Every structure is written in C-alpha cells, then in structure tokens.
Amino acid sequence: MKICEYFRSIQGEGLTIGVPTYFIRTAGCNLRCVWCDTTYAQEGGIEMSVDEIMDMVDDTEDVCITGGEPTLQKDMPKLIERLIKAGKRIVIETNGSRDISWIPKNEKIIVSLDVKCPSSGMSQHNLVANLSHVGKKDQLKFVIGDQVDLNYAIRYIRENKTNANVIFCAVGGTDLRPIAEEVVNRKLNVRVLPQLHKIIWGDKKSV
C-alpha cells in the first residue's frame, strides 16, 4: 500500500485526544478539500507491504490510520487485522465519501467519520449510508469554517440520527469560541474539541 509517513506523536483530535499514538498516514485521496492541511499526502507515497508496516510500528498501544484516505488502500483490511492481533487500539480516520461497511465491528476500533461541510468544497461527496456503520464507540467529525458550515452541521445531525459521538472542530484547529458559544446557546449534544497538535506545534509537523 502507499504510505506517506509514519511517526509517534500525541493524538491531536477526537475521542482519544492527548493520547500518545503511532500514526500511519497513507498516501492518496479522492477529495480535494479547500482547507486541507495535509495536501502533501494527496498523492505520491512509497509502496510498503503489510509486513513492512508491521515491522516499523513501535510498541505504542494506540495507532491512528489516517491519510490521505486510508480506505483507498486495498490491503487496509489486512493491516487492520494484523494490528488488532498485535493488541493495538486503532482509530481509522476516513473522509466519509467511501463505503466503510467492511471495517470490522471491534471494540478496539474507533471509526472517525468526517462529514464535509460546505467550506471544504466537498460536501456533495458525503455518503450518508455510512452513518449506519458507526456506533457509540465511534465519532462523527465536522470541521467548521464559518456560520454556513455550522448551520449545515447542526441541520445534518438533526436530519440524520446517529449513535456516534459528534465532534465539532474549527478549520485551523484552535479558534473554537464561536462554535462553543453556538453549541451552548443551542443546547447541542456535541463535543467541541481543538486540534491539540496545532496548539502544541502550530502548523509545523509534530515529528
């Protein structure tokens, strides 16, 4: 499979925020979000086998598979299986545009499912059917850039019921006050979270 980079860092977002994590970033993405902060992972990468990837993963218990878009990699089911057998806890981050029904329902796997808001330029690619494949241990993530995005996210969760944890974060990862105030004022049952790595390291890579 195509791998962009791999490194040990701190999980910057979502339910496992702050947890030391080993990251496997795949290369290649089928979307082109306007505000994407990992454009270097949209193409390229080096070819690695599942065995080679497993050899490089260290003893960190938590592993995040991100991208790019991990579901584009045909050997991803095999890698997930191997990581689970190795005792890892996994967060799989996906952009929400591709079928995720094949991802195992396993207590050690958290699916982080993006719902693209209008400012991304990719909201037309959201695959609503994926909502039936996420549950109470998983997370539904909205990256919000403006009021239009916020209204879109609120309408989306009201019109599409989910058991997953709903997370609102901001484009850029740190300017959360407008989102937080709306969540409080509208009594929304969502989590407002930063991108912790942006607070710690800014726009530099955390490696």
C-alpha dist (Å) from residue 183 to 8, 94, 176 = 33, 24, 11
Token pair of 63 as six digits? 């592993």
Task: List per-block mean pLDDT (blocks of 10 residues) for the chain, which spans 207 residues.
Answer: 97 96 98 96 97 96 98 98 98 98 97 98 98 97 97 97 96 92 96 94 68
Q: What is the pTM of this model?
A: 0.95
Running DSSP on this structure, what letter comes out for residue 97?
Answer: S
pLDDT at 122: 98
- The predicted structure's pLDDT at residue 173: 85
Instruction: Please report the domains of the chain, with CATH numbers, ordered by start residue.
Output: 2-201 (3.20.20.70)
